Structure 1
């Protein structure tokens, strides 16, 4: 499976919108098997300190689900961090598939 990931952090007046894009760059369909209904988790860290986690306080159905991406097809997963504290951060998006994976970016608020 040839899967390319990209992560964007887009600040605006309401907070920061995170967009994870998964693109099948191969020539065969790619099947993603997710461990739960959350599909991905977005985490903001400052050094070794976790500042915000999208999944905190949320519950997700614990069931396996699949998504199939045709060659060239993309899937976007999004989250919003409302009322962020100004600063410089690292952002990690943990993909909750059976194969795992993550994408990273930096952010200045």
Structure 2
């Protein structure tokens, strides 16, 4: 089982939009198991410190859920940072499945 992540973003002075794509690049189906409605998270780092986290202050429905990705299939997750702080940052997207790991990073400037 192998998951590969990629992170695309669009920057504007008033917001940064994130799209995290997770692909099953293996030969077998992969089941993603979640404990809540939070399926992915987006973090913005400023140097080594955390500047912003998409999930902070949000509430998520607590419900067990599973999604299956066939070989070659992708799933995308979106997030948005309103009123971003100017500067150069590193964006990190993480899959929040309890049984699989996948992450993607990219640097950007606002």
Indicate the residue corresponding to 1:10 in structure 2. Answer: 10
> In the TM superposition, what is the alpha-carbon distance from 1:13 to its structure 2 partner?
5.4
Bigger mean CA offset, 56-65 vs 5-14: 5-14
Residue in 2 aligned with 1:30? Answer: 30
Kindly provide the CA deviation profile for residues 16-64 of structure 1, in whole angstroms up to 9, marking residues without a partner as x: 1111101111222111112321111101010132211111111112222
Task: Provide the aligned C-alpha RMSD in A.
Answer: 1.5
Unaligned runs of 5+ in 1: none
| Paired residues, number | 109
Which position in structure 2 is the counterpart of 1:79?
79
State the secondary structure of the residue aligned to 1:28: coil
| TM-score, structure 2 normalization | 0.88
Equivalent residues in 2 for 1:39-50, closer than 5 Å: 39-50=39-50
Whether the 8 Å CA contact 1:16–1:84 is kept in 2: the answer is yes
Matched, 1:100 2:104: no
1:67 and 1:77 mapped to 2: Cα distance?
13
TM-score by length of 1: 0.89
DSSP 3-state at the match of 1:64: strand
TM-superposed CA distance for 1:71, in Å, is: 1.6
Is the Cα–Cα contact under 8 Å of residues 7 and 104 in structure 2 kept in the other structure?
Answer: yes
